[in-house]
Amino acid sequence: MTSSVDTDAERAPSRAAPAPPPPHAPRLTWRQRLSVADAKWSPYLYVAPFFVVFGVVGLFPLLYTAYLSLFDRELLDLEGTWVGIANYVTLLGDAQFWNALVNTISIFLLSTIPQIIVAIAIAALLNTRLRAPTGWRVGVLLPYVASLVALGIIFANLFGPNYGLVNGVLEMLGFERIDWQANRFASHVAIAVMVNWRWTGYNALIVLAAMKAIPNEMHEAAVIDGAGAVRRFFSITLPLLRPTLIFVVITSTIGGLQIFTEPKLFDAMPGSNNGGSSGQFQTVTLYMYQTAFETQNLGYASAIAWVLFLIIIVIAVANFLLTRRIASSGVAEDGAR
Amino acid sequence: MTALSMAVRRRTVDAAGVRRARFWVYGLLIAFLLGSIFPFYWSFLVASRDSSMLTEQLPPLLPGGNFISNVGRVFDSVPFWRALGNSVVVSGTVTFTTVLFSTLAGFAFAKLRFRGRNTLFLIVVATLAVPTQLGIIPLYMAMAEFGWAGELQAVIVPHLVTAIGVFWMRQYTMQVVPYELIEAARVDGCSMIRVYWHVCLPAVRPAAAFLGMFTFMTSWNDFLWPLVVLNAENPTVQLALERLQSGFYIDYSLVLAGTTLATIPILIVFIVLGRQIVAGIMQGAVKG
């Protein structure tokens, strides 16, 4: 199929030219010229919508955020005052920002690591010979349909400190009640449970697809060499899953570091942007939202956004380089291209 | 005899590495599924009773009869019909344009030759990692400037097409549309747009359908940007839900009636199209 690349569609018009009739060969008819122009320019037209939309509502706002971050500007103030890097200097000494950053990373780790381990386990279970395999796959994906808002409300209820079901069950089993709202670490766990609940099945399917792509011969050879199922899982399956796992980690990094809806809805004080009574689960995006649309300090909020942007890019690039290195040592590199 | 030896072989290495499921495999999967279903069921349970059930030591595990009346209160408390209508309009429009523009761009990137194609595609890939959500402050200012704040187009326009859609359709189109077919259509005098319509689009329909469902669900569940740019009088479903929760005292049978109500349509879509969604995710995972 690749060999036919050079007979590309673009050349078709010249081939289409009816060879015999016109004696003065090189002159193209109006129709043919139109067809050549069509082949030449329409690709640009087809890709244009993406670039226009991305430029106007994606790239430009991001760059303008960097510009705004150099001003002291209120929501209703049209001009603003140039303050240079003052916002960033303030940010470095802003305890609330560091608190939010630590919260974000803590929730991110609590939601990514267990999620990947469970997703691999579920994928391994799904990779056995099941009756009605598709049915199970659909079932596993079910939480994915829940909206984050509905999820936040339901879990805030389940983890309620007084009447929440989770505490009820804990008490019944003879454990202490936990204040899932007030306790900083407990609140991170509760929010991470929400994230895990929604995404584990989705990631399990991605891992399952990668497992299915592992050639049978490898397992057969290992079986002949006397390797048991557990040994084969750790020596064959897991190493070959690495690129997929890193892909999963990258996507959850980009999403996870921007986490907003879950902590906002989890708050016992509805509508609050504080992330708990003392900001114990306020994330960076929540802090940015609060600064921009509650405190109405657009310049400072822009600085927060831009710093988070840089953090995400640095982590994503680091992950990408890591992926490339691992992927180049053998397995499917398709995604990198 | 043969049957016996076959059974033995099956148990050991059937399609190597892929072992037959034992009962504990089913047990674990069922436990996982129950965990997946439980929050949905819980929300329906609370929605069908009144909030006093939450104060009981051991809450009842069967639904009560108050669901309809609680739903009625949802409609009294927030403009839920309006929110539903708005969400359908927003998600429907965004889905249509995303699929249209992504399949067009995917077709161009996969099958047409033009100057700068590789560079442009590299840009698309790079933008996959750009957290555009962080640009909401200037975006809000721009919308306010246009007088779009509070209007549906403010939620629609930023999501007309996505990088992931273009990327995904390009990967798929490369694999399923043969060059020969495009050439044949060109020889027959088809313009490029007709080649797209008659050759490319029919071939990529499964992927386009998945992209459509994925986009619809993402858009339906979007929260941060609508929260910034819309208001309580003209909300989407997610905003209406958040609004229900933000009283001084949270009446959970009311709020969870709202979440149940908002989940039902998307749950139906999922049950009907679940197989395709699963296939789409798994296919994208291998190729992507």
ipTM: 0.84
CB of A97 closer than 8 Å to CB of A91: yes
Whether residue B248 is predicted with pLDDT greater than 80 in this model: the reply is no
Confidence label for B56 from pLDDT (cuts 50, 70 and 90): low
Per-residue CA distances from B139 to A59, A296, B157, B225 (Å): 10, 15, 11, 10
Q: Are A157 and B256 in contact (CB under 8 A)?
A: yes
Q: Mean pLDDT over residues A240-245, rounded?
A: 84
Q: Pull the structure tokens for residue B273.
A: 């199209």
Per-residue pLDDT, B243:
87
Q: What does B47-66 look like in DSSP terms, one character per residue?
A: HTS-GGGGGSSS--SS--S-
Largest CA distance in chain B: 82
Which of A50, A62, A120, A291 is the best residue to mutate to test the B interface, defined by the most B CB atoms within 10 Å of its own CB? Answer: A50
CB pairs under 8 A between A and B: 351
User: Across all residues in chain B, what is the average pLDDT?
Assistant: 85
CB B49 within 8 A of CB B253: yes
Q: Which of B35, B192, B228 minimises the CB distance to A42?
A: B192
Asked if residue A324 has pLDDT above 70, the reply is no
Does an H or E element contain A279, and which?
A: none
A residues 262-321 near B, CB within 8 Å? 265, 270-271, 285, 288-289, 292-293, 298, 301-302, 305-306, 308-309, 312-313, 316, 320
Domains of chain B, by residue range, sit at: 88-250+264-287
Of B20, B105, B246, the CB nearest to A47: B105
- The answer to whether the Cβ–Cβ distance between A147 and B256 falls below 8 Å is no
* Every domain of chain A and the residues it spans: 2-68, 88-336
Helix (H, G, I), strand (E, B) or coil at A1: coil
Strand partners, A261: none
B27 reaches A (C-beta below 8 A)? no
Residue B31 has pLDDT above 80, yes or no: yes
pLDDT tens-digit series, residues B148-186: 989 999 999 999 999 989 998 998 899 888 898 888 898
Computed on alpha carbons and rounded to an integer, the radius of gyration of chain B in Å comes to 25
- Beta-carbon neighbour count of residue A97 at 10 Å? 22
Q: Compare CB distances from B187 to A16, A153, A210 and report the shortest one's residue.
A: A16
Residues 129-188 of A with CB under 8 A from B: 129-131, 134, 136-151, 153-158, 160, 163, 165, 168, 172
Secondary structure of residue A129 in the 3-state scheme? strand
Listing DSSP states for A58-107 in one string gives IIHHHHHHHHHTTEE-BSS-SS-EE-TTHHHHHHHT-HHHHHHHHHHHHH
**B256 in helix, strand or coil?**
helix
pLDDT digits over B228-245, tens only? 999 888 999 999 998 888
- Element containing residue A110 per DSSP (H, E): helix A95-126
B177 in Cβ contact with B200 (< 8 Å): yes
What's the whole-number mean pLDDT along residues B111-120? 92
CB contact under 8 A, A46 and B105: yes
**Number of other residues whose CB lies within 10 A of the CB of residue A66:** 16
pLDDT band at B48 (very low <50, low <70, confident <90, very high): confident
DSSP class of residue B159 equals: G
**CB–CB of B147/B108 below 8 Å?**
no
pTM for the model stands at: 0.84
Residues B26 and B76: their CA atoms lie apart, in Å, by 44
> A115: buried, middle or exposed (CB in 10 Å: 19+, 13-18, 0-12)?
buried
Query: Is residue A308 very low, low, confident or very high in pLDDT (cuts 50, 70, 90)?
Result: very high
C-alpha atoms less than 13 angstroms from C-alpha of B64 in its C-beta half-sphere: 16
Residues of A in contact with B238 (CB under 8 A): 147-149
What is the arithmetic mean of pLDDT over A121-144? Answer: 90
Q: Are A91 and A307 in contact (CB under 8 A)?
A: yes
Q: How many CB atoms lie within 10 A of CB A78?
A: 7
Cα A40 to Cα B280: distance, rounded to the nearest angstrom: 33
Is B218 in the A-facing interface, judged by CB distances under 8 Å? no
Residue ranges of alpha helices (H) inside A1-29 are 12-16
Amino acid in the structure at residue B39: P
Q: Which of residues 55-74 of B touch A (CB under 8 A)?
A: 55, 57-59
Element (H, E) at A20: none
- Helix, strand, coil abundance in chain B, percent, nearest 5: 75, 0, 25
How many Cβ atoms from other residues are within 10 Å of residue A277's Cβ? 12
To the nearest whole Å, the CA of A184 is away from the closest chain B CA by 22
pLDDT at residue number A244: 84
Q: CA-CA distance, B78 to B57, in Å (whole number)?
A: 31
As a whole number of angstroms, the distance between CA A305 and CA B32 comes to 37
d(CA B225, CA B223): 6
Check if the beta carbon of residue A282 is closer than 8 Å to that of residue A275: yes
The residue count of chain A comes to 337
Angle, alpha carbons B233-B234-B239 (nearest 5°): 95
Q: Do B39 and A201 touch (CB under 8 A)?
A: no
Nearest Cβ partner of B285 from A51, A122, A244?
A244
- pLDDT, position B158: 92
Q: How far is B207 from chain A (nearest CA, A)?
A: 16
**Do the Cβ atoms of B285 and A210 come within 8 Å?**
yes
Residue B21: count of CB within 10 angstroms of its CB: 18
Chain A residues with CB-CB distance to B57 below 8 A: 168
Helices (H), chain A: 12-16, 30-54, 60-68, 86-92, 95-126, 133-141, 148-158, 165-172, 184-212, 216-224, 229-232, 238-256, 261-266, 284-293, 298-328
Domain covering A88-336 in this structure, CATH number: 1.10.3720.10
Interatomic CA distance for residues B276 and B206, integer angstroms? 8
CA–CA distance, B272 with A142 (Å, rounded to integer): 12
CATH number attached to the domain at B88-250+264-287: 1.10.3720.10
Among the partner-chain residues B112, B138, B288, the one whose CB lies closest to the CB of A9 is: B112
CA nearest neighbour of B208 among B178, B250, B176, B179 = B176
Stretch 59-118 of chain A: residues touching chain B, C-beta under 8 Å: 59-62, 64-65, 68
Looking at residue A12, its pLDDT comes to 43
